[in-house]
Amino acid sequence: MEIIRSNFKSNLHKVYQAIEEADFFAIDGEFSGISDGPSVSALTNGFDTPEERYQKLKKHSMDFLLFQFGLCTFKYDYTDSKYITKSFNFYVFPKPFNRSSPDVKFVCQSSSIDFLASQGFDFNKVFRNGIPYLNQEEERQLREQYDEKRSQANGAGALSYVSPNTSKCPVTIPEDQKKFIDQVVEKIEDLLQSEENKNLDLEPCTGFQRKLIYQTLSWKYPKGIHVETLETEKKERYIVISKVDEEERKRREQEKHAKEQEELNDAVGFSRVIHAIANSGKLVIGHNMLLDVMHTVHQFYCPLPADLSEFKEMTTCVFPRLLDTKLMASTQPFKDIINNTSLAELEKRLKETPFSPPKVESAEGFPSYDTASEQLHEAGYDAYITGLCFISMANYLGSFLSPPKIHVSARSKLIEPFFNKLFLMRVMDIPYLNLEGPDLQPKRDHVLHVTFPKEWKTSDLYQLFSAFGNIQISWIDDISAFVSLSQPEQVKIFTAPSTVGKRNLSPSQEEAGLEDGVSGEISDAELEQTDSCAEPLSEGRKKAKKLKRMKKELSPAGSISMNSPATLFEVPDTW
């Protein structure tokens, strides 16, 4: 279901209901760009620490706009053993709410825009009809503005003037305004005397004059009149004064209050959906979701905190339970049987044995997606597909139980090992960002920091290290890189700087790209590729054996100890 500015309010209850009844959600975001740095590959070094990666993404990605948000809710129907889905595709745009509201600037990356354009993305929907939003601080400020206005209009104006926060003092009427104010008071006296007239429209005047009028009337006529500011068609503001009895005045105040509350809700806009997701505390699934999570927090809650540990805390408050399907698919028992963890390929792979496609049906009134005709990169569809991938993988875990379980729910202990671990793209030896505690600190004693002349290319590095067998190169900049050797003991050789003459080359696919003069820019699809990993083949085999051993050790589902469920499928500390 497509949700834009014009149908947001009328459909919000459907969104709330879907969130309320769901077992879990899947989310996805589309952004106006990925990285404003020199190139994605230069920004994502294979030996980044999680802290470094966080800082890079925060610095180079947060100025882009998340302008499409996909939410797909999944509710299990036990009668028919199938999931009922409700998929929402929200268009989001920070339309300035009023003259004093923030005028957001965001960056667009032409390659990302061009990519989305080629996928048929509708930019007009975003910019003409995107749902506005406020983060928490902006919401607080707007609420304060309303409160202040109200207290002023209520005749409690003086109170707001002496508030130390607003730095506004009661204003005495300047000499040259006295006549103006006297005339206004005269007109109001006439109105109060009059039996025919109930309302009085004052001429448009300046904001300062309006303030003087409000102030004067609030002490001169605390009761009996209602004062309101309206706008002409030319956007000139003028004051309307009405004779009212106390009951009528209160009714009007309440009406106005309700209207203001509605305006405020409209301004908070899409953030209300994120609040509802957060408040539900339910499991939120994403695919390669670190950037989605960072953007969501940044855009709808508050600017990202300075360091990673604060970010973890904040994220856990907003999303207490996250699961990244890319991380799941890259972890045992899936790692060995899933080659390509890009969302599109993963979805295809999970339709084949040993997996089975989940039974899923879209709820009544919700259009159904056809996975045969791909609509990738529409956030709602990507969220839907992500949910399907999760279900297939979760259910596969159930097959290890004896007797096997066909349906593994979002509350099952089987999936807990995957909670709150977000896939770290292109990091060689740290598979995930751990939101629940300290991150993995792999030994990096086989990794060399190498500096060299600017002219050097990957082939030169391969040549330099050709005696050391299999090496992995992670470029830092033009003149330095991390080089990981297959054996830590080899590092000892490099106690002094070495300048080895050129020898034979051992080019790899990666190098070829550089040889072609490619700047390192990569497509969205490429970003999704799993990195070739430094792990030697023997390691992989070891894990396969471990899996077999685990399988044997499995006890029947009923007798699994629920206190230590993570022993079943632990996300390994070392990869």
Instruction: Note the residues at the interface with its own copies (CB under 8 A).
Output: 32-33, 36, 65, 93-96, 99-100, 103-111, 113-114, 116-117, 122-124, 126-128, 145, 167, 171-172, 174-177, 205-211, 455, 459, 463, 504-509, 511-519, 521
Cβ-based nearer residue to its own copies, 102 or 320: 102
Please give the structure tokens belonging to residue 507.
């080019």
The residue among 445 and 526 lying less far from its own copies, judged by its C-beta, is 526
Residue 66 half-sphere exposure toward CB, CA atoms < 13 A = 25
CB of 330 to its own copies, least distance (A): 23
- Quickly tell me which residue has 């005397």 as its tokens: 193
Task: Give 235 or 552: the residue with its C-beta nearer to its own copies.
Answer: 235
> Alpha-carbon distance 479 to 450, whole Å?
8
> Contact 458/472 with Cβ under 8 angstroms?
no
SS3 string, 299-342, reads HHCCCCCCCHHHHHHHHHHHCCCEEEHHHHHCCCCCCCCCCCCC
Q: How far is the CB of 528 from its own copies (least distance, A)?
A: 15
Q: Which of 105/492 has CB closer to its own copies?
A: 105
Least CB distance to its own copies at residue 170 (A): 12
**Looking at beta carbons only, is 167 or 373 nearer to its own copies?**
167
Yes or no: say if 527 and 485 are a contact pair by the CB < 8 Å rule.
no
Within its chain, how far is the Cα of 95 from the centroid? 18
| Rounded Cα–Cα distance for residues 352 and 346 (Å) | 10
Shortest distance in whole angstroms from residue 9 CB to its own copies: 19
**In the complex, least distance from residue 261 CB atom to its own copies, rounded to whole angstroms:** 20
The torsion angles phi and psi of 480, rounded to 5 degrees, stand at -155, 155
CB of 320 to its own copies, least distance (A): 31
- Strand-pairing partners, residue 227, are 241
Q: 490: how many CB neighbours lie within 10 A of its CB?
A: 16
Least distance in angstroms from the C-beta of 312 to its own copies: 29
* 3-state class (DSSP) for residue 413: helix
**Surface-to-core class of residue 44, CB atoms within 10 Å of its CB (0-12 exposed, 13-18 middle, 19+ buried):** buried
- The residue (of 103 and 489) whose beta carbon lies closer to its own copies is 103
| Measured distance CA(157)–CA(147) in Å, rounded | 11
Across 161-192, b (16+ Cβ under 10 Å) vs e yields beeeeeeeeeeeeeeebeebbeebeeebeebe
Q: Which of residues 199 and 519 has its CB atom nearest to its own copies in the complex?
A: 519
Q: How far is the CB of 215 from its own copies (least distance, A)?
A: 12
Q: How far is the CB of 98 from its own copies (least distance, A)?
A: 9
**Which alpha helices (DSSP H) does 487-536 contain, by range?**
509-515, 524-528
The least distance separating its own copies from the CB of residue 572, rounded to whole angstroms, comes to 32
Instruction: Identify which of residues 172 and 261 has a Cβ nearer to its own copies in the complex.
Output: 172
Measured CA to CA, the distance from residue 71 to residue 19 in angstroms comes to 9
Q: How far is CA 67 from the centre of its chain?
A: 10
Measured from the CB atom, the residue of 96 and 540 that comes closer to its own copies is 96
Nearer to its own copies, 237 or 407 (CB): 237
